[in-house]
A and B are shown apart, each in its own frame.
Chain A
Amino acid sequence: MDETHRIFQETISAYALGALDADESSALKIHLQTCEACRAELAGYQRVGMGLLSALPPQAPGPQVRRALQKRLKGSRPSFQLSFGQALLSGALALMLVLNVISIRQVDSLKKQQAELNRELYSGQTAIAMLAYPDTQSIPFYQEGISGSLLVDRQRNLVAVFAWHLPPVPADKTYQMWLIDSQGDRTSGGFLVPEMNRPFETAVISLSLPLTGFTGFGITLEPFGGSPKPTGPRILLVDL
């Protein structure tokens, strides 16, 4: 073991610089998972790598680069892509603005819808980013007609929820998400708000507590406004 460790140790510096050939690199990655000493050494070399990024004397680009960026920005707002459905919804909102004689009240509610739309886009983006992340664990579920996945990132304490075919909620109720610890205690993970005319829901839970303390995820139906602890019928229960 010590001999193996020594052989791997010699490759850490090159690995930190991204210069190891592919086969050596994947072998080292596996060793790093179990060897704390090598991980500590890697951290030091990574600092050197970060330093090398910044070590060059700054050199300003020509002023035309800034101008070109300004130009490109004008044509690129917003910075994220709307899905077809979301674009339709935005378009519909805009149309309502034009067609209606709008009271202040209506404007307020439109603003809320827009804010809700933005929140959703953000959830969607974070979830997609998590999918692309190598450390993200995907937990599929299928229970009583509801299917979907949890994407779990234990390093960043993030959970993204995708749930298909949730039954519609009565106006005085809401779906509330829970994280369950090993003692069975529930911590609220916020609400899942079903959107009309869409077969799936998505939400991102960002925890201030370490996710490693939780062993389960659940959804219950609660009175509108939510509950401090679950009181209503259980909709979903998934082991983490």
Chain B
Amino acid sequence: MDLSEDDLHLIQRVAQNDQQAFLALYDRYAGRVHALTLRILNDPMMAEEATQDTFMKLWSRARLYLVERGSFVVWLLTIARRTALDRLRMEGRRPLLSDSTDPEGIWPVLADSSRNEDEARWRSLYFMLHDMPGEQRRVIELAYYQGLSQSEIAQELGWPLGTVKTRMRAALEHLRREWLKDECAG
């Protein structure tokens, strides 16, 4: 999941205002960034704007990344999430409740384009989330993809705060146990 040498090289060039390197990173990661902004904003036009803004931030902050390092994908997607959530708040939109898309319908199409085992790891997390009981999945999605706090979720769903807390904890414990178990197994 860490930064490949290749990415690092590209980012160093972006930090020196190399537009070709920037576009190479765009071609590599635009799909991931856009999937996230689309999931958060649920509006194609706003999602594309947020994707564009995210990459402009990559352009202007590449130097900061080089100071901090860490996983590049995580860094970029964290910016994308923040950018999209800010937009969501700005629009004052009500959060999207749940993703009704059938996961099986999406992934197989993309399987050919998967470039490394990370893809398979992320894919397994996606399925784990989908296989969860609906009320657990919903709290995770509202927190992570809509940026709501536990008390905001309680208000949104009309559930007692204690219930939200219990379900969120159970859901995350489950994901952590199952997903990191996979990781240890290789």
Contact = CB atoms under 8 A, between A and B. Distances in A.
Contact of A45 (B32, B52, B126, B172): B172
B34 interface: yes
Contacts of B172: 13-14, 16-17, 45, 48
Contacts, number: 157
Which bracket fits the contact residues of A? 35 or more
A73 B22 CA distance: 10
B1 to A, nearest CB: 8
A49 interface: yes
A13 B169 CA distance: 6
Interface stretch (A53-61, A98-106, A178-186, A208-216): A53-61
Given A54-B32, A58-B35, A69-B52, A18 B147 contact: yes
Contacts of B149: 19-22
Nearest to B149: A21
Contact of B144 (A49, A57, A59): A49
A234 interface: no
B89 interface: no
Q: Output the residue of A49, A58, A62 with the most chain B CB within 10 A.
A: A58
B17 A156 contact: no
Interface in B3-43: 15, 17, 19, 22-23, 26-27, 30-32, 34-36, 38-39
Contacts of B22: 69, 73
Given A17-B140, A60-B31, 18 more contacts: A48-B172, A50-B71, A52-B129, A54-B32, A54-B118, A54-B125, A56-B126, A58-B113, A65-B48, A66-B27, A69-B23, A69-B52, A70-B19, A77-B17, A78-B17, A79-B62, A80-B60, A129-B67
